[in-house]
Amino acid sequence: MEFKTWSSPHLPVEIGVNVIMRRVLLALLPGAACMTWLFGWGVPINLLIAGATALGAEALMLTLRGRPVIATLTDGSALLTGALLALALAPLAPWWIAVVGTAFAIVIAKQLYGGLGYNPFNPAMAGYVVLLVSFPLELTLWPAPGNAPDLTTTLAMIFTGAPPGGSSIDALTMATPMDTMRMQLGQGVTLEALGKQPLFGYFAGFGWEWVNLAYLAGGLWLLQTRVIQWQIPVAMLAGMAAMASVFHLVNPEHYATPLFHLFSGAAMLGAFFIATDPVSACTTPLGRIWFGLGVGIITWIIRTWGGYPEGIAFGVLLMNLAAPTIDYYTRPRVFGHGNGAPP
């Protein structure tokens, strides 16, 4: 029997950055396909615009910094940033929304900090929050799930800002389940009455249940292939579900069920694909658990009482700030050096 041996001090890297990024992009396909089926052509169009912008911005910054362009572009990190941002955008948002958000993510949030491996914040979420704060109306242009406009109308909406034939934009778009629930609960509408509206499905928003199940399938494949670790997604979903469970038990007519929070909005996309960013998240096993819990709790708080219907981007960025400190105080024990706590 032959055994592989490697000279110290280095071990072989069997899974490089390009392989990891490629697997994450593949794992996004079920969710992206489900969103395209429900929300129409705007989803792949956003992916194309954001992907092209990400590659162009990355190439420009690498050239200005005197770094190798081709080798870095082909690692897939820029393309993944563009894809994550695109999937968070409204399918009928103007084309320049994807361009501005992706350019900010690559240029400001990634390359100005030194590129891949040095960015303290998740680049895609940094770009998304800039868009959300600066252009909130453009991010509300979601079509009704299962009733998306055709390709001609979608192109007109994205590139001209208005549907053809003088139709009203309001006739093509509608509020998401997260936004509708937040607003109507604030107006005193009960959960029982909300559940009877066609916008809501069996246990979450109509259509969004399938989207989150698709991203869950992709995330489980990433866990199975060990591209990501289990601590962050499990802790994030557990933190969100725990907060929702407590408040729903206290007042079931005013606070949504845990299932609604877990299968609405970007819950599964955030848990498996966004919060698990290996650069900006925690790296110690215990630290990942605290990081995920923090993201889940902050997300629930913003969804419930905040000014925005979705809080994953804010939760991830706030916990990115805390990640170095969490890692410092959760360092695993080094054999022969006490309990691993800092001096």
Contact at 8 Å (CB) between 157 and 95?
A: no
Q: What is the amino acid identity at position 45?
A: I
Identify the pLDDT of residue 74: 83
**Predicted pLDDT of residue 342:** 54
CB hemisphere CA count around 313 (13 angstroms) = 22
What is the C-alpha to C-alpha distance for residues 81 and 88, in angstroms, rounded to an integer? 11
Pull the structure tokens for residue 66. 């005197």
The pLDDT, as a whole number, for residue 309 is: 82
Task: Specify the DSSP class assigned to residue 165.
Answer: G
What number of CA atoms fall less than 13 Å from residue 315's CA on the CB side? 32
What are the structure tokens assigned to 308, written together? 């925005």
Predicted local confidence at residue 1, as pLDDT:
46
As a whole number of angstroms, the distance between CA 116 and CA 111 comes to 7
Q: Residue 240's pLDDT is what?
A: 95
Helix axes 42-64, 77-88, angle to 10 degrees: 140
Cα 86 versus chain centre, distance: 10
Q: What is the pLDDT of residue 90?
A: 93
Q: How many CA atoms does the CB half-sphere of 42 hold within 13 Å? A: 33
User: What are the two backbone dihedrals, phi and then psi, of residue 172, each rounded to the nearest 5 degrees?
Assistant: -105, -15
- CB-based burial, 274-305: b 16+ in 10 Å, e otherwise: bbbbebbbbbbebbbbbbbbbbbbbbbebbbe
Tens digits of per-residue pLDDT, 156-202?
A: 889 987 777 666 666 666 677 777 777 777 777 777 777 677 777 77
What single-letter amino acid sits at 276? Answer: T
Residue 231 CA to residue 166 CA, distance in Å, equals 51
Mean model confidence pLDDT for the chain: 87
Whether this model's pTM surpasses 0.95: no
Q: Which segments of the chain have a pLDDT < 70?
A: 1-14, 165-174, 195, 334-343
pLDDT tens, position by position, 282-309: 999 999 999 999 999 999 999 989 888 8
Do the Cβ atoms of 216 and 209 come closer than 8 Å? no
